[in-house]
A and B are shown apart, each in its own frame.
Chain A
Amino acid sequence: MMRKEKMHIPMPDDERMEMEIKKIVAQGLRRQPSFWVSLQTIVQQIGFRQLFSDRSEQVYLWMMALMVGVIFFVKPDLAVEQVADVYAFLFLVSPVLFFVFSVYTYANKITNGTYEVEMTCKYDVYQMIAFRMLAFSIVTIVMNAAMIAGFVALYENVAFLRALVISTTGLFVFSVFFLFVMWKRRSTMTVVVVIGSWLLGNILAKQVNASLYNDMLVHLPLVVYALVLIGAAYMYVQLLKKFMRQHNAEGVF
């Protein structure tokens, strides 16, 4: 079977050769390309379109966005005095939106049985979720900005910058939590507990000491928020880096 093939020497064409050379060079240089370079490569190779593995995910995302929109803009009794509530809501909702969405994706892969195949691809499920987290953060920040701009137009009390910084801080602080838990690969329970304590903690803080909580949200100097935001964003990138390099198919959920 093999002998007959011996005389035929396959010559690679130029393109192939180019690719092989690149590959060899890449392998020679391998070990930890910078995080941003690998991100760039991922963006090039995957493209944003493929971030969503299933159309139902896209539908789901739009529905979530719509719901949030409805809550904000159609709900007529949102009084001007409830500014603090708006802040709290932003702080709470931004990250939870992402989380619910990620869990949905994950569950979707498991129920459809595509998890295994995707896990053996160059970019595995966790790298994709981490990558998508980044994309989602960016989209959420933009969306929040737009939403808050809408608020500001409706309710004069809401300072645009403050609301934006608060919601973004919420997103990053939570994302750091989330990545950390995924990175440590504990159990489904841990993830549930983290999400639960995020929600409960915030709601409880508000119940127990509403004025302090509101004070924090409304009156805490922006600089403090900005610092927290920078810290969280930094940790976020660090964790994202670690996360994208790690492969453990046995999973977390």
Chain B
Amino acid sequence: MIVLKDVSKRYGDFTALHDINLEFTNGLYGLLAPNGAGKTTMIKMLATLMRPSGGEILYDGKDIFQMEETYRTLLGYLPQQFGFYKNYSPKQYLLYLAALKGIGKKEALVKIEELLEKVALPDVMNKKMKKFSGGMIQRVGIAQALLNDPKVLILDEPTAGLDPKERARFRHLLSELGRDRLVLVSTHIVSDIESIANEIVMIKNRQILYKDSVEKICQTLEGHVYETSIKYEELDAFRNRAILLSEKQEQGNTIVRFIHKGKPDVAWLPVTPQLEDVFLYEYRDDVDGEV
């Protein structure tokens, strides 16, 4: 179990995270927030790459920075920018990282084969990585994070650069992994984690906004989300009445999905709030042009 106690992080005068209190047990957690909210900052602290400016992070009651290699032995980490040595093949690179993780060569070879199978890269095992696409490199990164069968798996925007098919496979892999370990996945893309996360953590204004199941988080907007069909010309006027979530064109009309917290119009169709709605609503001031 990982506990963050009053964790803050400042970069000079700028406070990126303020008094964060969180608890993670086994399961899959989605860290969901727009770019710049502090996801990477939190993850780097959990990966011992950065010390908090205040507060402490405990694994089973022990400070992770004092645990040193004992903690790192339990850790699998994929950074937002996964780097590699250009002349290395995935097999060579993974063998090297396995050595750093203290895994013997024989054991490592078996594991590497199994993992590359899992991320669907067995054919290019011996090809130089400089010829790889972004998605392929990302998959090597995911395999790398799993080498030591980590009890704590932390992935920073792992789906960046993956195509829809790869994303689907990856979601499947994640939900499998989340069964018997702590998995924390950061993303600013709702659909990556909506269907698989046991809990979602959302950061807003340097603090935790929600840490709850998708269902519970969606309940916060229960009864406030509607859909209706309007004329395209009415769209601008409509924006002043309600918080627009999405719009799509259909047979000359515009179907709008929106949030309204007062007495509803009879023509409006109440709908069940989705995580995407909460995301758009909560970050309405800073996500424009983002998602």
Task: Give A contacts to B, CB under 8 Å.
Answer: 1-2, 5, 27, 30, 44-47, 50, 53-56, 108-109, 112-124, 128, 245, 247, 249-250
Contacts and interface: CB of A to CB of B under 8 A. Distances in A.
A108 B86 CA distance: 11
A118 B81 contact: no
A120 B77 contact: yes
Interface stretch (B44-52, B118-126, B259-267): B44-52
B95 interface: yes
Contacts of A117: 77-79, 82-83, 97, 141, 144
B127 interface: no
B85 A114 contact: yes
Interface of B: 47-51, 65, 68-70, 72-73, 75, 77-79, 81-88, 95-97, 99-105, 141, 144, 148, 175, 179
B87 A119 contact: no
Nearest to B73: A122
B222 to A, nearest CB: 24
Contacts of B103: 45
A47 B99 contact: yes
A209 to B, nearest CB: 47
B84 A30 contact: no
Nearest to B69: A122
A112 B102 contact: no
A155 to B, nearest CB: 41
A47 B99 CA distance: 8
Given A121-B72, A122-B72, A112 B179 contact: no
A5 B83 contact: no
A27 B87 contact: no
Nearest to B85: A54
B85 A45 contact: no
B86 A112 contact: yes
A56 B88 CA distance: 10
Contacts of A250: 49-51
Nearest to A45: B102
Contacts of A249: 48-50
A114 B84 contact: yes
A124 B105 CA distance: 18
A114 B175 CA distance: 27
Contacts of B81: 113, 116
A121 B75 CA distance: 8
Given A113-B81, A117-B83, A118-B100, A30 B70 contact: yes
A45 to B, nearest CB: 5
Given A27-B70, A112-B86, A122 B49 contact: no
Given A45-B103, A117-B141, A124-B100, 20 more contacts: A47-B99, A53-B85, A54-B88, A55-B87, A56-B87, A109-B83, A112-B84, A113-B82, A114-B83, A114-B84, A114-B85, A116-B81, A117-B97, A117-B144, A118-B97, A118-B100, A119-B49, A122-B69, A123-B102, A249-B50
Closest 6 CB pairs of A and B: A113-B83, A121-B100, A50-B99, A114-B83, A249-B49, A54-B85
Contacts of A109: 83
Contacts of B77: 116-117, 120
A249 B105 CA distance: 26
Contacts of B88: 54-55
Contacts of A118: 97, 100
A112 B141 CA distance: 14
B38 to A, nearest CB: 17
B49 A123 contact: no
B122 to A, nearest CB: 22
A120 to B, nearest CB: 4
A115 B49 CA distance: 10
21 contacts: A1-B175, A1-B179, A50-B95, A50-B96, A53-B85, A53-B96, A55-B87, A116-B81, A117-B141, A119-B48, A120-B48, A121-B97, A121-B101, A122-B72, A122-B148, A124-B100, A128-B100, A245-B68, A247-B48, A247-B69, A249-B49
A54 B49 contact: no
B100 A122 contact: yes
